Structure 1
Amino acid sequence: MDSSRKPVKKNPRKGAFCLSQLFFGWILPLFWRGSRMGLGKDDLTKCLKQDRSEQLGDQLEEHWEREVSQARIANRRPKLRNALFRTFYKQCLFDGFLIFLFVLIKTILPVVLAQLLIQFQEPTNSTHLAVQMLDEVSIATTLPPVALPLMSGLSETTETLQNDLAFDENAMINRRRRKRRIRIDNDSPAPGNTIYMDIASTGRQDETWETTMAPDGQLEASEEGTMDSNSLVGANGTVIDDFTTFLHHAWNDTFWLSGLLVLLTLLGCFCCHHSDLRQRLIGARMRIASCSVIYRKTLRMSKKAAGQTPAGYMINLLSNDVSRLDYGFIYIHYVWVLPFQACFTCYLIWRRVQWAAIVGVVGLLVKTIPVQTGLSRLSSIIRMRVAKKTDQRVGIMNELIQGIQVIKMYAWEKPFHKVVSNARKKEVRQIRWASYIRGIYLSTMIFTERSTLFLAIACCVIEGRAITADIVFPMAQFFNILQLTAAIFYPLAVSLGAEALVSIDRIQEFLAQDEHDPNAQASGLKRNIDDLHLQDNIGRPAIDLQNVTASWEETTDKTLKDLTVQIGTGKLLAVIGPVGSGKSSLLQLLLGELPIQNGTATINGDVSYGSQEPWLFTGTVRSNILFGLPYDRQRYQAVVRHCALTTDFQQLPDGDKTVVGERGTSLSGGQRARVSLARAVYNNASIYLLDDPLSAVDSHVGKHLFDEVIGPRGYLAQKRATRVLVTHQVHFLKEADWIVIIEGGKLVTQGTYTELANGKVDFGKLLNCGVKGAKEHGSTEEDMLASDIPEDEIPFIDGVTLDGYKLLKGSTVSLRGVTPSSCASSIAENLGRQVAEDQAEGTISWRIWATYFLSGGNILMLMFTFIMLLVSQAIVSGSDYFVTYWTRQEEKRLVNPDEVYTSTVDFLYTYGVIIIGVVVFTIFRGYLFFNICMKASRNLHDRMFARILTAPMRFFDTNPSGRILNRFSKDMGAIDELLPKAMIEAIQILLVMIGILTMIAIVNPLLLLPLIGAVALYAVALKLYLRPIQDLKRLEGITRSPVFSHLSATLTGLSTIRSSNAQEKIREEFDELQNVHSAVWQLTMASNAALGLWLDCISTAFVACVTFSFIVLHQDTYSANVGLAISQALILTGMVQYGIRQTTESIQQMTAVERVVQYTEILSENRRIDTENHS
């Protein structure tokens, strides 16, 4: 309810123009400020309109209600996935187009690469002979104009020559453009006229000679594009369209091909990152809408359903389950894109190698889709098991935190430690299997493409095809791109989508719970609240129960049995009875929470409720009292004075503006009880239901509250309000107008005090004991009562000072036998603590990394794992370089067939052995790494839990339960599952990048210069990004905790919220908390996308340097080396940014370790006592 937490800064994305949106320029100021000064809570921005919780919740709730109605008509179960689809499908359509365009561009890239490599290919012996004969034909000679038509026979000669020489289909006529001059005699064609003459045709492309009349009468010829094999057309003949001519030129020009290659790569980068960001934002909106609907359901949930739903289950819904929606549908479009891409890729490869294309594509799909789908299904099954085990553990932790005082009082730490440890072991057992499956999945991304290339090459060898660079490297690129979809995006779409659907089903199950409806649920309950004027109610009972029977469960014993009670307007009804007799259930019935099965209950007036357990939420004391109602200064002062809070406000550091934590932390038990009573009294109702509000205060304060608030001369009686008081303090019964005694849910007797004391019930002894007990207690709070303080001297309203000086922090002593001097320092110290969660600053320290890895294994184990990572990567990079070496030898064999080289079959066997090594070592390294991560996760949880159990009560008083549970739910979930995956991917990509850059440097050492420049730009971008993203991640964790705390507090005070009709107000507060978190989340996702785009642009520039270097420097090199360098550089595009993003993701997830390590260093009770004894 504290509006001061709302951000005031404008979201930087709002109003950004097109180019700024395209290049993410709008986020640069945030990066610049964050890299220099860091980002804190003051940098939080407003949420964008399309991401606001209330708007998204309204949309999803509308579609969910429509789905429920349609399901009821069709006699089926409503499905939340249908409602989510109808809510967000329109936003996904454009993203699907962007992803389709991205896949299309990536699939065309190998075609351009193949055409480019052809320009660098060495001619074979037969090609040299063809060029020599053509040179003899085209020697500069003088020809008369009439001889020009005779040149038409040249094409026939050339065609015959081509057939006779049996050109190799993979050979080139020439490596560079050459120009030849044919001198024409006097009557030559006009200058500028062009003659096209096709001289040769290979299996892959046709060679075209373009002849142009120069001004000096010479005929220039240059080797260019592709023409018909028998065409020779002059200026007066059929002229080819200029655009077609340009395409022929460009398609066989290395500069144009290189430019096209770079341009397509750049376009793919923009499509990739913008579609990815849009999909992630849609996933976030699904999460936000689901959270809003879950919370709204919580407010409507019946007391019976709430009792059957563990708090841990609901907290897990809002932490782990809804988080699956963030990532569950990012790659969903690849489900329908994959079939198109597979067919298109197979067609393009078929045009070059025929049946090897089918073997390669089908083999890749067989190794990816069935295997990955099976792993995904198995992962989803294990995920359900993990979710159930996590629910149990978080539920136990929630109960433990709520009852920590009792646990410490009875020294139950060891039994609870055993319970939580057993629950954690069962959970880790399932997580371990999920981690191993994830390790196998990540390993397949390494060897799938290479094993597929092996199959395709083997097929080519069997068919007797030449193994050349323009076949092998484009084919490797095809498989790499198809694998990206088939082995990564498609399985992610299936696995993450399956996990998201499991979570959606769990949310759907929760939304199907029974709802609280006072008018429908309790069919016998009638409320008349239209006329709120009390004088109009005189003469009719405020509460009228006639033969009421009620029960929480239809099959269990009745909670209340055949009750008939009637209380007039403005009267005080006292309800007494032994513990568990049904007193509180009677109030729940009047609130409409307890279903009525028989009889009728009539309530004439609106109701205000004061719970037995004081309920406070995180906010100021004033906001806890007002509870969303308008501030009426006069009424507020009167309520505070009558509830004996005046002196307490004087002693609070900021008066009634002091922020208190969940459950009123930093306040004593008596203070919490009086604040809770003040909230009920401030609500201007006609009927007040007070569930033993005097039990938490001592007898004198209780007497003051009864006399000033509840009794016949109290504040409520002066308003002629009806009061129903549940109490165990029988000495107040004399003041009651009517007394009801309940036992076992049955009405034992009822009447006035006089009637009951005169013989109907002998409770005189109880009354005397109560009075005697009251007299025995000293007046510990007597001097704190507000009746001695004039109204015009109350200094607490604005939390300011008397006479210009701030009020001293005094003591409040609601507990019996505690003097003000004995607890003044303790209370003051607690009140001085900030309720807000502290935010760590700077980068993650090496101590945190060391703590994490050393928690997973000793030094020897870590060194062995590191060595295995290096060895496996050496084998992977060796397999790529071996393909280059093999291709180069095959090209030499074509050029010099008389030389002796290693046989192709031997090369194939060697490559097969290397591929087997790649498979074995990548799987083994994944097993080692995930095993270390699981041990680290288990040990960190155990240490944190041990510290929590031994933490002093001050820790629990100053930290909301939602914040503590966040460590055991969200943070441990990140350490269990997200962190290991991010780290292994970052390590794999880092090692692959090192191997790629090494091979490129070997092919062309001069590329080290642009490589150094690219690395420098990478470092600049990373430095600009790293600190802000870590701060944003910390802020995301900090802004997420209040959401959980708000839910936990709502569950505790559900009856109070409903009785005060504050559902709408408290829902708005929840939506605002979500908006704060959503703004940080949106900035975090945009930051990741911005970094990815910028890094890919740098990588594209490096690809341009690699590609054009072979053209500009005129280096005579094998096309195999050119193919290796360019294809590896293309892999860098996307891999660099993804590797750095996964590295930063690892760092971001490491903040969860940092937060857990903080709790492993909590000062324990024993250590605190030892320190105090030594001091």
Structure 2
Amino acid sequence: MLIAFYLKIFLVVIGILCSRVGFYILVMSYVWMGYSTNTELVFYILSVFKDLRHTLGIIIPYGMGRAAELYSALVRINKVIQAEELPPKVGTDEPTLKPLIELKEATVHINDYIVLKNISFRTDSGLTLVTGTVGSGKSSLLKTILQDYPLTSGNLITHGRISYASQDPWLFPSSIKQNILFGEKFDQQRYQDVVRVCALQYDFNLFDKGDETIVSDRGLNLSKGQQARINLARAIYKESEIYLLDDSLTALDAHVQDYIFNECIKKYLRDKICILVTQTASHIQEVDNVVIMHKAQIKSIGKPDEKIIQVINELICKDDDLEKEILEEHEAEENEEKGEESKLIESEQITKRKVYSEVNKIGEVDFAVYKKYFIFGGGFFMMFIIVVLFGVTQGTESYSDKLITKWVDAQQKVLDLETNFTRYVQTEEDTDNFNIANNSTFGNESFIISLEEARENEKFTINLYSIMIVVSTVLGLIKTYALLDFCRKASINIHKTLSHTIINAVMSFFDSHFIGNILNRFSQDLNNIDEHLPFIFSECFRVAFSVGGIVFLMATVNWRFLIPFAVFFAILTLLRKFYLPTGRSLKRLEAASTSAGNVGLVLTQVFMLAGHVQWGVRQWADLENLMTSVERVLEYTEIKQEVTGGATVKNWPSQGAISYENVTLTYNNNEHVLKNLNFTVQPKQKIGITLEINDSGSNFSSGQKQLICLARAVIRKTKIVILDEATANMDHETDALLHDTIKENFSDCTVFTIAHRLHSILECDKVLVLDRGEIKEFDDPLSLLENKDGIFYKMVEQAGLLNYLS
């Protein structure tokens, strides 16, 4: 940035030197060579060099900046164009052929790491469930079928269109509806069916704008469950023959999982090929085929019979009661008389949930924005000094232009006197009357004195002009550097303030603001402030004082020139066009102008005036536009900051006791997400939290990421640990292992465990049940299970875990 900044200053300096000093040297060289100057020559050269200054000082730096941006863009685009490409896809998406997926001895390497090894798999109908331990290759199998992972060896054949729902929900900034449609043609009936089977209607009723609610970057303004269901709905809405669903039900409550599995996967996709990756044991008995992955290989494949259950028991669960648990869960589902959809609807909230959307300001940029910008640049005194420099510089330039006029007039007077004197002497030599000649001696001497005075005046004028040229050039360099340095300091200080404010912002700011909007302040807006605003400021000041200087010079020649200028400026300010009538008026007034020098002065100034005023109005508009970037950046320098004051307590917390007294939490003063919480947690207690209704490392699976996060928590050795769905993507074996690890490493800690898998919290000291931000139940698990009408009892009963504690 600094190199480009000083390069532009250098080019502006060159422009100033070429326009002022270059013109002076050229004219003086012409005189020193013995040629006499005239008005046409001087003012023609002056106008040419003023155009040259615009080219060298403005057009060329602007062009170099755009050329640098173009080069940078070409380099980035070229990297994308030359990136390694996937091989051409095999198979066909022709819907008329019988759908088919077939892998024959397929092996896949990613960066010398085996993700699939010797996989043979075939399906042409029905629901296939893929399960296995963490990192066993389940997601890699789906990505290989998608042909996102190229085969190292083996064959792959697919017939039919493929739709895919990723394990980590992918959402883009647009409405929920557009996230579901994803460019597909809108079909009202199909859309409503997809919304219903994905249990989204309840959530739409919560939002103020329903499915027109804008989703933020990566869907951060939605819950994990909402993200997962919208991600699933996008895949289901697309008309395909093959549906690949990568653990799309993990982030959902148990009863929502069951509803979507029955209504969406079993019924709505019953005539399709569907491959579902999941760790949910209750669904194994209801699928057509089960594929068990282990260490990048298919360990077992077949119908969900006793053999498959035994393999799952050995590799995944290692739980002698797995078969019993599956049967109990299946029984509980069959005995459920009430439909899941009605369950979702009965607890629907009446109030609408408001989701953040950026507010676009309208109208002119407030003066307060300019005021803050000036303060960041060095204050109003510094800006006043710069304005004075611009004024004095323009004064010296205008005065030097006026001196050119005087010099031309003085030289013209010298030439006239010299011509008249030569003619007078020749006349005296031709006459025979000596007495007349003697009588003319006095007149001859006065003629010589006038000629000498004229020459002295011409010499004084050109010397004074030389001084003004040097002064205006030096002042031009100083005022240009002063303004650009002022803008540079403002940019640096704004960036520092913005960075500090964002880093110390309260967490609710990041929960409710789009990450793209935040990044845009640091990219596009700061780029405008860094690169464009300084030169727009410089041009606005230069043009404003230049127009003022031109008007002043024209007024010194004839005050009537102010009338057409006033009309001209008013029209351009309001309409920014229609200046030709004014130009003609100025032409008509040319004949009324004290000498040849003044005529040349007015002509050159008039020719520049039209361009200057138009350019000035345009720069004025650009300045207003660019100041919106300052406005946007300053908006984020005033966000609420985290509290950093107070004394630091050594070894805090020492015990880990927690007490909530009438705690209420809101996001952006909208809905209450927590309401009047009152509870106490004793040191070392383990608390399970469950909610009734609504809860990047690309080279690692989601389960592996969770393992890394848990390891980080173990290493920190804190007194209070919060586990928010820490094992959601784990297989049962790893899940059980992790709970043993948690018990061992966090035995002296106060632990909060938030989980959809209820067995994760059944062994906690107490269970906290939340519904719509309020505490509904809080007691030890056995006490809660004694209340058969309680929320917790019903949830445990539905999950088939009533006998788990016994």
TM range (shorter): 0.5 to 0.7
Normalised to the residue count of structure 2, the TM-score between the two structures is 0.68
Report the equivalent of 1:830.
354
Report the equivalent of 2:633.
1156
Q: 1:882 Cα shift?
A: 2.2
Report the equivalent of 1:1109.
592
Secondary structure of the corresponding residue to residue 126 of structure 2: coil
Secondary structure of the corresponding residue to residue 157 of structure 2: strand
Q: 1:1136 Cα shift?
A: 1.3
Secondary structure of the corresponding residue to residue 830 of structure 1: coil
Q: Distance in 2 between matches of 1:1165 and 1:1100?
A: 61
Q: Distance in 2 between matches of 1:1137 and 1:532?
A: 65
Give the number of aligned pairs: 611
Please say if residues 996 and 1128 of structure 1, whose CA atoms lie closer than 8 Å, have aligned partners that are also in contact.
Answer: yes
Q: Distance in 2 between matches of 1:633 and 1:666?
A: 26
Equivalent AA in structure 2 for residue 876 of structure 1: E
Q: Distance in 2 between matches of 1:577 and 1:920?
A: 76
Higher relative contact order (CA 8 A, sep 6+): 1
**Do structure 1's residue 846 and structure 2's residue 323 form an aligned pair?**
no
2:236 to 668, 675, 681: 681
Please say if residues 636 and 682 of structure 1, whose CA atoms lie closer than 8 Å, have aligned partners that are also in contact.
Answer: yes
**Do structure 1's residue 856 and structure 2's residue 377 form an aligned pair?**
yes
Q: 1:1102 Cα shift?
A: 5.5
Report the equivalent of 1:691.
246
Please say if residues 12 and 57 of structure 2, whose CA atoms lie closer than 8 Å, have aligned partners that are also in contact.
Answer: no
Report the equivalent of 1:702.
257
Q: Distance in 1 between matches of 2:183 and 2:667?
A: 46
Q: 1:709 Cα shift?
A: 2.7
2:121 to 533, 555, 565: 565
Q: Distance in 1 between matches of 2:540 and 2:33?
A: 40
**Do structure 1's residue 732 and structure 2's residue 283 form an aligned pair?**
yes
Q: Distance in 1 between matches of 2:338 and 2:185?
A: 28
Please say if residues 126 and 274 of structure 2, whose CA atoms lie closer than 8 Å, have aligned partners that are also in contact.
Answer: yes
Secondary structure of the corresponding residue to residue 547 of structure 1: strand
Q: Distance in 2 between matches of 1:624 and 1:783?
A: 34
Equivalent AA in structure 2 for residue 1158 of structure 1: E
Q: Distance in 2 between matches of 1:622 and 1:1130?
A: 58
2:556 to 976, 997, 1002: 1002
Higher strand share: 2
Identify if the C-alpha distance between structure 1 residues 1157 and 531 changes in structure 2 by more than 3 Å, giving closer, same or farther: closer
Q: 1:14-25, aligned counterparts within 5 Å? A: none
**Do structure 1's residue 455 and structure 2's residue 44 form an aligned pair?**
no
Q: Distance in 1 between matches of 2:142 and 2:586?
A: 75
Q: 1:869 Cα shift?
A: 2.4
Secondary structure of the corresponding residue to residue 723 of structure 1: strand
Identify if the C-alpha distance between structure 1 residues 433 and 635 changes in structure 2 by more than 3 Å, giving closer, same or farther: closer
Q: Distance in 2 between matches of 1:842 and 1:1102?
A: 36
Equivalent AA in structure 2 for residue 842 of structure 1: G
Please say if residues 619 and 660 of structure 1, whose CA atoms lie closer than 8 Å, have aligned partners that are also in contact.
Answer: yes
Identify if the C-alpha distance between structure 1 residues 811 and 874 changes in structure 2 by more than 3 Å, giving closer, same or farther: farther
Report the equivalent of 2:103.
545
Q: Distance in 1 between matches of 2:338 and 2:476?
A: 72
1:907-961 per-position Cα deviation (integer Å, ceiling 9, x unaligned)? 5554444333333222222221111212211222333344444555665555444
Q: 1:58-457, aligned counterparts within 5 Å? A: 431-457=1-27
Report the equivalent of 1:896.
417
Equivalent AA in structure 1 for residue 583 of structure 2: T
Identify if the C-alpha distance between structure 1 residues 844 and 531 changes in structure 2 by more than 3 Å, giving closer, same or farther: closer
Identify if the C-alpha distance between structure 1 residues 511 and 1102 changes in structure 2 by more than 3 Å, giving closer, same or farther: farther
Q: 1:890-1039, aligned counterparts within 5 Å? A: 890-897=411-418, 898=448, 899=450, 900=453, 901-902=455-456, 908-951=462-505, 955-956=509-510, 959-1011=513-565, 1013-1014=566-567, 1017-1022=568-573, 1024=574
Identify if the C-alpha distance between structure 1 residues 953 and 587 changes in structure 2 by more than 3 Å, giving closer, same or farther: farther
RMSD: 3.7
Q: Distance in 1 between matches of 2:211 and 2:59?
A: 55
Report the equivalent of 1:473.
43
Secondary structure of the corresponding residue to residue 131 of structure 2: strand
Report the equivalent of 2:94.
530
1:245-280 per-position Cα deviation (integer Å, ceiling 9, x unaligned)? xxxxxxxxxxxxxxxxxxxxxxxxxxxxxxxxxxxx
Identify if the C-alpha distance between structure 1 residues 444 and 1019 changes in structure 2 by more than 3 Å, giving closer, same or farther: farther
Q: Distance in 1 between matches of 2:73 and 2:201?
A: 49
Q: Distance in 2 between matches of 1:942 and 1:487?
A: 30
Please say if residues 92 and 159 of structure 2, whose CA atoms lie closer than 8 Å, have aligned partners that are also in contact.
Answer: yes
Q: 1:595 Cα shift?
A: 1.2
Identify if the C-alpha distance between structure 1 residues 574 and 502 changes in structure 2 by more than 3 Å, giving closer, same or farther: closer
Q: 1:1165 Cα shift?
A: 5.7
Q: 1:724-763, aligned counterparts within 5 Å? A: 724-753=275-304, 754-758=306-310, 761-763=314-316
Identify if the C-alpha distance between structure 1 residues 667 and 919 changes in structure 2 by more than 3 Å, giving closer, same or farther: same
Q: Distance in 2 between matches of 1:985 and 1:547?
A: 69
Q: Distance in 2 between matches of 1:650 and 1:844?
A: 38
Q: 1:662 Cα shift?
A: 4.7
Please say if residues 128 and 291 of structure 2, whose CA atoms lie closer than 8 Å, have aligned partners that are also in contact.
Answer: no
Equivalent AA in structure 2 for residue 672 of structure 1: Q
Identify if the C-alpha distance between structure 1 residues 1021 and 911 changes in structure 2 by more than 3 Å, giving closer, same or farther: closer
Q: 1:734 Cα shift?
A: 3.7
Identify if the C-alpha distance between structure 1 residues 1154 and 482 changes in structure 2 by more than 3 Å, giving closer, same or farther: closer
1:1147 to 612, 624, 627: 624
Report the equivalent of 1:609.
164
Secondary structure of the corresponding residue to residue 113 of structure 2: coil
Report the equivalent of 1:255.
none
Q: 1:982 Cα shift?
A: 0.8
Please say if residues 574 and 740 of structure 1, whose CA atoms lie closer than 8 Å, have aligned partners that are also in contact.
Answer: yes
Gaps of 5+ in 2: 419-447, 645-664, 677-806
Secondary structure of the corresponding residue to residue 1160 of structure 1: coil
Q: Distance in 1 between matches of 2:562 and 2:337?
A: 83
Identify if the C-alpha distance between structure 1 residues 1102 and 841 changes in structure 2 by more than 3 Å, giving closer, same or farther: farther
Equivalent AA in structure 2 for residue 986 of structure 1: C
Q: Distance in 2 between matches of 1:788 and 1:609?
A: 28
Gaps of 5+ in 1: 1-430, 520-525, 795-809, 813-819, 1026-1090, 1111-1116
Identify if the C-alpha distance between structure 1 residues 443 and 995 changes in structure 2 by more than 3 Å, giving closer, same or farther: farther
1:474-523 per-position Cα deviation (integer Å, ceiling 9, x unaligned)? 2322333455456654565555345434433433333333445652xxxx
Secondary structure of the corresponding residue to residue 590 of structure 2: helix
Equivalent AA in structure 2 for residue 433 of structure 1: I
Q: Distance in 1 between matches of 2:217 and 2:273?
A: 30
Please say if residues 564 and 586 of structure 2, whose CA atoms lie closer than 8 Å, have aligned partners that are also in contact.
Answer: no
Q: 1:1142 Cα shift?
A: 1.0
Equivalent AA in structure 1 for residue 120 of structure 2: T
1:95-117 per-position Cα deviation (integer Å, ceiling 9, x unaligned)? xxxxxxxxxxxxxxxxxxxxxxx
**Do structure 1's residue 881 and structure 2's residue 402 form an aligned pair?**
yes
Report the equivalent of 2:606.
1129
Identify if the C-alpha distance between structure 1 residues 752 and 1125 changes in structure 2 by more than 3 Å, giving closer, same or farther: same
Q: Distance in 1 between matches of 2:57 and 2:188?
A: 66
Q: Distance in 2 between matches of 1:701 and 1:744?
A: 31
Percent of residue pairs identical: 31
1:890-919 per-position Cα deviation (integer Å, ceiling 9, x unaligned)? 222223342223276665554444333333
Identify if the C-alpha distance between structure 1 residues 785 and 946 changes in structure 2 by more than 3 Å, giving closer, same or farther: farther
Identify if the C-alpha distance between structure 1 residues 654 and 434 changes in structure 2 by more than 3 Å, giving closer, same or farther: closer
